[in-house]
Chain A
Amino acid sequence: MIAIVDYGVGNLFSLQSSLHSLGLDAVVTADPKAIRNADRVILPGVGAFGDAIDKLRSSGLEEIVLEQAVSGKPLMGICLGMQLLFEKGYEFGEHDGLGLLRGSVVPMQGNIPDGLKIPQMGWNALIPKRAHPLLKNVKEGDCVYFVHSFYATGCEDSLVAATEYGKELTALVARDNVMGCQFHPEKSGPVGLSILKAFAEMRS
C-alpha cells in the first residue's frame, strides 16, 4: 500500500489514478495510522513553500512523515513535496523544510538567464547524473512534465537527474530511501509512470 499524504494542498486525483493504473494500491490519507501502515509514502504538493510546510506542521503530519523517513520506508516527494524535503525554502521569506536532504530551494527569477519564461511549464528532457533504480526504464532524451518557479540547489549529494532550462536545474533527487521529483510523474505519460512503478518496486 502506498500512502499519499493529504495535508490539504493540491489535487491528488491524478496521482492516485496513475498509481491505480499501474495496479498499485494507493490511498489518499491524513490518518497517521494509515501512513504508518503503508509500505511506502508519497508527499505531494502544489502552491507555496511556506504555506505548505505550515499546513504539514499544523496538521501534525510533519512528525509522521519524518518518522517514516527515519524508519527506512521509501518516501517520495513530488513537485512542492520534493522541495519540502530540503533544509530551507526561500519563497516569500525563509522557511525551514523537513531537512531530510541537504540543500535549499531558491527562485528561478534572477538565477536563470533573462528571457526564459517563469514558471517553467511544459515537457523537458531528463539528464541523468548517476545511475539509480528510479531511472531504470528512462532512456536518453526522455521528457517529463514540469510546472515550477523554484528549484533545489546545493544538493549535489542527492542529485540523480537534472533538466536544462537556461542552466541545469534539479529534476530528480534520492538519498537512501528519500527521493523526490521536481516534475509531475503522474502527468508525464509512460516515462512518468515508469518512474512511479520503479518507486513501487524499491525494497522497503
Chain B
Amino acid sequence: MITKRIIPCLDVRNGRVVKGVNFEGVQDVSDPVQLARHYSDEGADELVFYDITASFEGRKLFTDVLRAVAEQIFIPLTVGGGINTVEDFDRVLKCGADKVSVNSGAIRNPDLIPDAAVKYGSQCVVLSADVKRVDGQFHVFSQGGRIDTGMDALEWIRHSVELGAGEVVLNSIDTDGVKRGFDLEMLNAVTEIVDVPVIASGGAGCIQDFVTLFRQAPGVDAGLAASIFHFGEVSIRDLKQKLTENGINIRRI
C-alpha cells in the first residue's frame, strides 16, 4: 500500500534557509543544498521550499537554490511562496520543482488554479490553506495567516479541488507553533470532503504527534513540519522508526 509521507519544510530567504541549528555532519545549516541532502539521507519523502523573500533579487536567488537542490537531490520537491501567476509556475518548474503550492495568489486570482491545472496537470498544483476557527467556523486566512478572508475553509478547499488542485496542505493556525499536536478535528473535516491527498501542517511537537495523526486522522496522507526538524528536536530517522513500530506504513530507507 501507499506509504504515509514525512515532509520537512524549509523557509528560504535570499537564498539561505531561515532558522535551523546544528546537525551532525551538516556544516552550514543555512545552506539549502546541505540541509536538503541531510533530510533526504535521513528519509524525508519530499521537501517543501517556501520562498519568503519578496524582492526580485530574492526570487532569482531562490530559483538558483532550487536548481542546485534539484541537481543533487532526487526526491519530489514542492515550491511555495510568491506564486501568483502561471508564469511563476513556469519559473519554478523549469528549475526542477515537481509541485507548486498556491495560497494567497489563488485567493486573489480565481483563474490561477484552473489555468495551472490545465497547463501542467492537477498533480502539479497544490492548494495551501491557512485555516483558523472564527466563531466556531473554519475561516481561510490570507497573507501568511494575517488576514481573515471571511471565506468558509471547507467550501474554499472543496471548490479549489474541483477547479484542479491535486493536493491540499492544511495549515491550522490554531495549532501552529503550539507544539501540542496536529489539528485532528480540522484535518478530519477536510479529508471527508476531498478525495485528493491531504497534508497536515501545524502543531507537531514530538514524534508521538505523528503517530496520533496517522492513527486518528487516517485520511491524512502526509505530515509536514519545520521547526522540530530544523532544531533537531525530532530526527526523521527516529520518527520513521517509531511509526514503523506503531504499524504505520512508511517508506524505509
Q: Are B121 and A46 in contact (CB under 8 A)?
A: yes
For the complex formed, measure the closest distance between the CB of A169 and the CB atoms of chain B, giving whole angstroms: 11
Decide: B98 and A123 in contact? CB cutoff 8 A: no
B80 CB to closest chain A CB (Å) equals 17
* Residues of the B chain whose Cβ atoms lie less than 8 Å from the Cβ of A186: 74
Contact B3 A124 (CB under 8 A): yes
Measured between beta carbons, the chain A residues less than 8 angstroms from B195 are 117-118
Q: Per-position contact with A for B117-150: 1 when CB-CB < 8 Å, else 0?
A: 0000111000000000000000000000000000
**A189 at interface by CB-CB < 8 Å:** yes
With contacts A121-B167, A123-B5, A187-B74 taken as known, whether A47 is within 8 angstroms of B94 at the C-beta atoms is no
* Nearest opposing residue in chain A for B71, CB measure: A17
Q: Does A171 contact B (CB under 8 A)?
A: no
Q: Is the CB of A11 within 8 A of B74?
A: no
Chain A CB within 10 Å — which of B1, B67, B122, B166 has the most? B1
Q: A21-B71, A145-B75 are in contact. Are A123 and B96 (CB under 8 A)?
A: no
CB of A119 within 8 A of chain B? yes
Contact of B51 with A by CB under 8 A: no
B72 proximity list for chain A (CB < 8 A): 17, 21
In the docked arrangement, what's the CA distance between A164 and B122, Å?
23
Question: Within 8 Å of chain B (Cβ to Cβ): is A122?
Answer: yes
Interface size class of B (residues with CB under 8 A): 20 to 34
Q: List, in ascending order, chain A residues with CB within 8 A of B95's CB.
A: 13
Interface size class for chain A? 20 to 34
Main secondary structure on chain A at its contact with chain B?
mixed
Cβ proximity bits A165-190 to B, threshold 8 Å, 1 near / 0 not = 10000000000000000000011111
**Total residue contacts A-B, CB cutoff 8 A:** 78
Known contacts A13-B70, A117-B195, A145-B75; A122/B221 CB under 8 A: yes
Interchain nearest-CB distance for A175 vs B (Å): 27
State whether A18 touches B74 (Cβ < 8 A). Answer: yes
- Assess whether A56 is interfacial by the CB under 8 Å rule: no
**Could you show 30 A-B contacts with beta carbons less than 8 Å apart?**
A11-B93, A13-B70, A13-B95, A13-B96, A14-B74, A17-B71, A18-B74, A20-B71, A117-B195, A117-B196, A117-B197, A117-B221, A119-B122, A119-B166, A120-B2, A121-B123, A121-B166, A122-B197, A123-B2, A124-B3, A125-B3, A141-B252, A143-B251, A146-B2, A164-B1, A165-B1, A186-B74, A187-B74, A189-B40, A189-B253
* Across the A-B interface, the 4 shortest Cβ-Cβ residue pairs: A143-B251, A123-B251, A17-B71, A13-B96
Using a CB–CB cutoff of 8 Å, the interface residues on chain A facing chain B are 11, 13-14, 17-18, 20-21, 46-47, 117-125, 141, 143, 145-147, 164-165, 186-190, 192-193
